[in-house]
Amino acid sequence: MATTPALKSPSRWLTALLATTSCLLPGARATVYKLGTKAEIKESAATLAYDLMLYYKGNQSGEIPGILPGPPTEHKGDYYWWEGGAMMGTYVDYWFLTGDESYNKVVTEGMIHQVGPDEDYMPPNHTASLGNDDQGFWGMSAMLAAENKFPNPPEGQPQWLALAQAVFHTQAAPERHDNTCNGGLRWQVPPMNAGYNYKNTIANGCFFDLGARLAAYTFNQSYADWADKTFQWLWDVGYIDHKDWRVYDGGHVEHNCTDINKAQFSYNAALLLHGSAFMYNYTNGSEIWKTRVDKLWEGMHRDFFEDDIAYEIPCEGRKGACTADMLSFKGYVHRWLSVVTKVAPHTRDKILPVLRTSTEAAVKQCTGGDTGRRCGFYWREGVYVDPAVDKTSGAGEQMNVLAAVSSLLIDDAPPPANNITGLSKPNYNAGSRSRGPSEPLAPITNGDRAGAAILTILILGSAVGSWAWMSFGD
């Protein structure tokens, strides 16, 4: 074989050999993901979506639709029930932002399979890990499907908006609220579950966020009242720091929630920011909600985006310290913050450049595995760290990067839909099966949908007296 002229020199030959073999060394591979154009972003997202689905077994014969392998307490895998719901939401956003329908059937099947016999995301076989936050994540994914106009489930199946309402209505029921700590939801739903004595930000944050979004979708002031009340409780109990707007984790009822665990998790702050942005939009830009949006963003940017790259404070500085739950938080942060820029547009120029920098860092470390494109969790280092370091298979790490890359397309997306622009049908009696009989609110008619300005009057006027859930928790 003739010698290539460029390799005649021994030094050039050695340089070429090193360049060739270096891609085989850990952390030395070049990323396969490109973000320069919208077409490249979509192509990168498609590859990430394909690889994430490899962690999911619910579409295989004999497996359970909707869940990632788990729970760890039963030695079935790394993931609790709620993270399957979060993954479904990630794919709903992926479809919405890229137009790729490849996974829509799998998502619909998974989300419907997990609704439970009362169609409120309380399946009996997950009672042992049923927290208000776990149920809330499934409800938020259903809400997202309604907002994104994700294809409706088949006739005869519960609809997306109705499922979100069912989750919210069950969480607004009297049995979920008590006078300890002057209000607020407990972490767990069944009293026998460990953690029932803990009232935390994520459980109340999911309830707050759903209330804000249901208010924006349905124009129903009662949802907004619940959202306002819940945010005020978080503020009053001290889970939101009054000086620097740090968001803390929670406290125990036996201490009247004064023993505040000041651990900061990125998804707590991002979820409160997300819901506050919807309330800002719903209230036509009220100053109080604008202040909350702006202050929460300032705190998030300061604490969770060092060098404008997503960073999980409680565990990231110590490899192996992150739980499987924590390893999925960066994806929700990117998804929720991108939506904030749509419903509170004054934040766009502050948030989007940060998300871009963070995403660019994220893809640079996706160089692992046999394919050379597997993602880790530690974005700032620019070097792939095997998920085995944190003792997980890597579904959360892959989901994070898919969410971040997809969210770069948010500028071209329409704002979240509502009762006028949306496709999903409400059910104002949703959630009543598991909380006992109650009189339903009269359904909204097509004529009602045409006049958003009078929806609140219609709902709060003739029907409020007969709708039991309105007074839950008071």
pTM of the model: 0.87
Residue-wise pLDDT tens for the chain (474 aa)?
433 333 333 343 333 333 333 344 444 577 899 999 999 999 999 999 999 999 999 999 999 999 999 999 999 999 999 999 999 999 999 999 999 999 999 999 999 999 999 999 999 999 998 999 999 999 999 999 999 999 999 999 999 999 999 999 999 999 999 999 999 999 999 999 999 999 999 999 999 999 999 999 999 999 999 999 999 999 999 999 999 999 999 999 999 999 999 999 999 999 999 999 999 999 999 999 999 999 999 999 999 999 999 999 999 999 999 999 999 999 999 999 999 999 999 999 999 999 999 999 999 999 999 999 999 999 999 999 999 999 999 999 999 999 999 999 999 999 999 999 999 988 888 988 765 433 333 343 333 333 343 333 333 333 322 222 222 232
Q: What is the pLDDT of residue 435?
A: 58
**Residue 246 resides in a domain:** yes
Number of domains in the chain: 1
Q: What is the pLDDT of residue 369?
A: 95
Domain, as residue range, for 379: 32-471
Please check whether residue 21 lies inside any domain of the structure. no
Residue found under tokens 């201490």: 255
Give every CB contact of residue 177 below 8 A, 6+ residues apart in sequence.
Answer: 183, 184, 185, 472, 473
Instruction: Give the pLDDT score at 83.
Output: 98
Q: Do the domain assignments include residue 11?
A: no
The CATH number for 43's domain is: 1.50.10.20
Q: What are the tokens at 33? A: 């993901």
Report if residue 17 sits inside a domain: no
Q: pLDDT at position 457, please?
A: 31
259-318: pLDDT as tens digits? 999 999 999 999 999 999 999 999 999 999 999 999 999 999 999 999 999 999 999 999
- Is 133 within the bounds of a domain? yes
Q: Does 289 reside within a domain? A: yes
**Inter-axis angle of helices 329-343 and 395-407, to 10 degrees?**
20
Q: Is residue 12 one of the residues assigned to a domain?
A: no
Q: Is residue 24 part of a domain?
A: no
Q: For the chain, what is the HEC assignment?
A: CCCCHHHCCHHHHHHHHHHHHHCCCCCCCCCCCCCCCHHHHHHHHHHHHHHHHCCCCCCCCCCCCCCCCCCHHHCCCCCCHHHHHHHHHHHHHHHHHHCCCCCHHHHHHHHHHCCCCCCCCCCHHHHHHCEHHHHHHHHHHHHHHHHCCCCCCCCCCCCHHHHHHHHHHHHCCHHHECCHHHCCECCECCCCCCCCCEEEHHHHHHHHHHHHHHHHHHCCHHHHHHHHHHHHHHHHHCCECCCCCCECCEEEHHHCCCCCECCCCHHHHHHHHHHHHHHHHHCCCCHHHHHHHHHHHHHHHHHHCHHHCCCCCCCCCCCCCCCCCHHHHHHHHHHHHHHHHHHCHHHHHHHHHHHHHHHHHHHHCCCECCCCCECCCCCCCCCCCCHHHHCCCCHHHHHHHHHHHHHCCHHHCCCCCCCCCCCCCCCCCCCHHHHCCCCCCCCCCHHHHCCHHHHHHHHHHHHHHHCHHHHCCC
